[in-house]
Amino acid sequence: MTVYRERLWAPPALYLATALVIPASLLVFLPISVLAGVLVAIGMYLGIVVLLWALAPTIEVTDTEFRAGRAHLPRTLVGEVAAYEGPAATTQRGPALDARAWTLFRGYVRGVVRVEVADPADPTPYWLVSARDPQAVVDALRS
């Protein structure tokens, strides 16, 4: 049973910013052909939109595991969990980050959740995962 689920969708501003590929491809392809320029511009933008949509990772807590993107961690191996927002999240993503940690960051998501891996055989000390509502992920993992 799913306790918590969140998809890290790109914000609308990113979709608008990627629309700049349209005039750029028109500049390149219009001298070749108007039809080619328009088709390539539309095709490239639609391709970017599909990639942004398809590659948005999912954060999910179920009764048995914690999933972040394609990775999963059994709940029995979840140690201490902590939520960070604002400057504390920036510190966790930067100066406080252990190089051995497994990370799933999205620059447009401000909060992060730190999930300790309680498996002595695993060289990864913790996961650091972007989350829009990090406290809700922590609460779900503690439930």
Q: What is the DSSP string of 80-103?
A: EEEEE-THHHHHHHTTT--TTSEE
* Residue 77 predicted with pLDDT over 90: yes
* Residue 143 predicted with pLDDT over 90: no
Please report, in angstroms and rounded to a whole number, the separation of the first and last CA atoms in the chain: 13
Tell me: the pLDDT tens digits for 98-109? 999 999 999 899
User: Residues of the chain with pLDDT > 90: what percent?
Assistant: 89
Q: Give yes or no for a contact between 107 and 93, defined as CB atoms under 8 angstroms apart.
A: no
The full set of domain ranges for the chain reads 2-54, 59-142
Distances (CA, A) of 31 to 20, 21, 36, 38, 73: 18, 16, 9, 11, 53
Tell me: the pLDDT tens digits for 83-103? 999 999 999 999 999 999 999
Half-sphere exposure of 117 (CA within 13 A, CB side): 19
In the predicted model, what is the mean pLDDT of residues 61-71?
A: 96
- pTM recorded for the entire structure: 0.83
Would you state the pLDDT for residue 127? 97
Q: Name the band, by pLDDT with cuts 50, 70 and 90, for residue 5.
A: very high
In the predicted model, what is the mean pLDDT of residues 38-59?
A: 94
